[in-house]
Amino acid sequence: MSPQKPRILNDYRDLFWSLIPLVLIAVVFAGLASQCSFAANGPTQGQIPHFDVKAALNADARTLPFPIRNPAVPADWKPNSGSRESISGTGGGPISTVGYITTQGTYMRFSQSNATEEALARFVLGGPRYGSGTEQVAGQKWVVYAEPGAESAWVADFGQSRALITGAGNKEAFTTLAQAITTTQPIAK
């Protein structure tokens, strides 16, 4: 047996050499569990789920008490999600939402409801927010809700219903969706 060094003489090199076997064991276990990869290309986009936006919005048009629009978005935008919820409280009402993946790979969401603008914005944006400007698209005024560090939203009042757009897209994506919503007639009941 070789004599051990006194503990006071241990330094960072001793710590480094004693940790190497532990790190190697952890890497082996992570590799065996398929929780670790060493791909040179980085992350890849997964499969975009398909959502039948036409069928969903047609069903909403038959059952909800306000006009529903199915905007003609660009052909390369992929509908990937939808939901129906209800906003409770003052100014609330049912809400129909559909989501799209844009050409650039960003997510854009379109919600429509007969709730008030304030109730709709509070519900979708997760708290009280205030309009910070407006955009005019195809003759329709859209109130812009933009705050640093928070997701932006555009809201338009169509009389019997309100439309809200939000998502990770740039201004062009917001304008494209706003144009499609504004120029689309409500679905016949």
For the chain, strand residue ranges (E) read 78-87, 93-101, 107-113, 133-137, 140-145, 153-157, 162-167
Q: Residue 121: what pLDDT?
A: 92
Dihedral of alpha carbons 49, 55, 57, 60, sign: negative
With cut-offs at 50, 70 and 90, classify the pLDDT of residue 148. confident
For 159-182, what is each residue's pLDDT tens digit? 999 999 999 999 999 999 999 999
Fold of 53-183: Phosphorylase Kinase; domain 1 (3.30.200)
Phi, psi dihedrals of residue 78, rounded to the nearest 5°:
-105, 120
Q: Residue 126: what pLDDT?
A: 86
Q: Which value, to the nearest 10 degrees, does the dihedral of the CA atoms of residues 132, 139, 160, 57 take?
A: -100
Residue 173 neighbours by CB under 8 Å, 6+ apart:
102, 104, 106, 108, 167
- The span from the CA of 124 to the CA of 77, in Å, is 22
For 6-41, what is each residue's pLDDT tens digit? 777 777 787 778 888 888 888 777 777 765 555 556
For 66-88, what is each residue's pLDDT tens digit? 999 999 999 999 999 999 999 99
Would you list the DSSP string of 82-104?
A: EEEEEE-STT-EEEEEEEEE-TT
Q: Residue 96: what pLDDT?
A: 96
Residue 121 pairs with which residues in a beta bridge? Answer: none
pLDDT at 111 over 80: yes
pLDDT at 94 over 90: yes
What's the chain's average pLDDT? 87
Q: Residue 2: what pLDDT?
A: 64
- The span from the CA of 108 to the CA of 56, in Å, is 17
Q: Residue 47: what pLDDT?
A: 74
